[in-house]
């Protein structure tokens, strides 16, 4: 029994050492993460058209203090596709590796509209 316990503890210590070494190589690295949308101009146009309402709530016509502008807001949820890229250092200090990962996910887009302006996309956030 004692020899089995010692072997098991040596294996777990060895496994822990390997995990610690791997974490020090991977977890302490700077990553650069970026995302690009497929057809961003089409997406912006679509979202701004979806935000348009046939009726005005009236917030854009409210009297405001000097220097402020009343805005109508409208939000819409839609699915978008694109590519997420993760850049990380390779084995040498001067090279980087890149992982490109396609995605399709829901986004919430918010548009604003002034008294005489069309809706304009100002904010987006992923819902996943």
DSSP for 26-73? HTTS--EEEEEESSHHHHHHHHHHHH--SS--SGGGS---TT----EE
User: Which pLDDT value is given to residue 93?
Assistant: 67
Averaged in consecutive runs of 10 residues, what is the pLDDT profile of the chain (128 residues)? 47 68 62 87 81 66 82 84 85 76 90 81 85
User: Which pLDDT value is given to residue 12?
Assistant: 62
User: Which pLDDT value is given to residue 92?
Assistant: 62
User: Which pLDDT value is given to residue 57?
Assistant: 67
User: Which pLDDT value is given to residue 101?
Assistant: 92
Angle at 118 between CA 116 and CA 122, to 5 degrees: 120
Structure pTM?
A: 0.56
User: Which pLDDT value is given to residue 28?
Assistant: 62
User: Which pLDDT value is given to residue 7?
Assistant: 47
User: Which pLDDT value is given to residue 2?
Assistant: 44
User: Which pLDDT value is given to residue 100?
Assistant: 92
């Amino acid at each position: 029994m004692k020899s089995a316990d010692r072997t098991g503890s040596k294996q777990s210590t060895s496994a822990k050492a390997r995990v610690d070494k791997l974490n020090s190589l991977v977890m302490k690295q700077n990553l650069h993460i970026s995302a690009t949308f497929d057809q961003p101009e089409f997406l912006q146009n679509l979202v701004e058209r979806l935000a348009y309402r046939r009726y005005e709530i009236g917030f854009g016509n409210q009297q405001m203090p000097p220097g402020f502008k009343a805005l109508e807001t409208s939000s819409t949820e839609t699915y978008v596709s694109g590519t997420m890229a993760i850049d990380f250092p390779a084995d040498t200090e001067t090279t980087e590796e890149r992982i490109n990962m396609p995605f399709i996910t829901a986004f919430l887009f918010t548009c604003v509209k002034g008294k005489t302006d069309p809706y304009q996309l100002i904010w987006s956030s992923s819902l996943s």
